[in-house]
Amino acid sequence: MKNYKLTIAYDGTNYHGWQMQANARTIQGELTRVLSVLDHRPVTLQGAGRTDAGVHAQAQVANIFLEREFAPAQLREAVNGNLDRDLRITQVELVDEAFEARFSARGKTYVYEISTAPVISPFDFRYVYHYRGTLDVEAMQDAALLLVGTHDFSAFTVASIETTDRLRTLRQLDIDARHHSIRITASAEGFLRYMVRTIAGTLIDVGRGRRTAMSVGEALASRNRQQAGPKAPAHGLTLVRVDY
């Protein structure tokens, strides 16, 4: 039995997130279906993490143990030939049996894309949140600095989240602006559910003048979800990298 590492890209628009569901189309579900057929048995695909419904990925990672032996390129082509075009395996690698996509990961990077242009291109609307107005980028950057580091991010996740450990180390939270394009880049060892989207939504509120940069630090310290801003729309978020 061989352990294969899969690097996966997908447009999340028409999927109900990563995790397999009985009555919904998901990334994990589609890949598991194809891989089970190829290996002539039910298989279990483990991902580096879950993405929400509508969220995209440039380089999600998963691993799978298969009884049949495939050359990496052969497996990539066999899987892709049975998937819709909005989901692709971009790379397959044979890895040590100790490798686990989730538990071996050392960090993840997400990018949230915003456009403040009067009109958004039809080639971008699936992947960029269109905000029709002006955002104060400097205020957003000031607020972002307050979130970098190791903190309890209870205010930036769902109150009903299963884990009681809400401590996360946010290594990077950069905001870059060029013309009408604003990119929020967030890197951490791991993220809580809806954490990046809630951070993005809160920073957008700062940019709109609905709240101050200082209030973001106060929300973080409160550990109260009601003190942070709303989740930003899912389609602006892309998982761009998983580090090992």
**Domain annotation for the chain: domains and CATH numbers:** 2-95 (3.30.70.580), 107-243 (3.30.70.660)
Which tens digit of pLDDT belongs to each residue from 53-82? 999 999 999 999 999 999 999 999 999 999
Low-confidence ranges of the chain (pLDDT < 50): none
Query: How many of the other CB atoms lie within 10 Å of CB of 157?
Result: 20
Position 208, amino acid: R
Give pLDDT, residue 164. Answer: 78
Distance, CA of 207 to CA of 241 (rounded, Å): 26
Q: How many CA atoms lie within 13 A of 42 on its CB side?
A: 1
Say which residue the tokens 């998937």 belong to. Answer: 83
Contact 17, 55 (CB under 8 A): yes
State the pLDDT at residue 75.
98
Residues in the chain: 244
State the pLDDT at residue 163. 73
Reported pTM:
0.95
Tell me what pLDDT residue 230 has. Answer: 97
Identify each DSSP E strand in the chain by its residue range: 2-10, 46-47, 56-66, 87-95, 107-115, 129-130, 149-152, 167-178, 181-188, 237-243
Closest by CA position to 115, among listed 134, 137, 133, 131:
131
The question of whether 52 is a catalytic residue gets the answer yes
| Catalytic residue (one of 11, 39, 52, 142) | 52
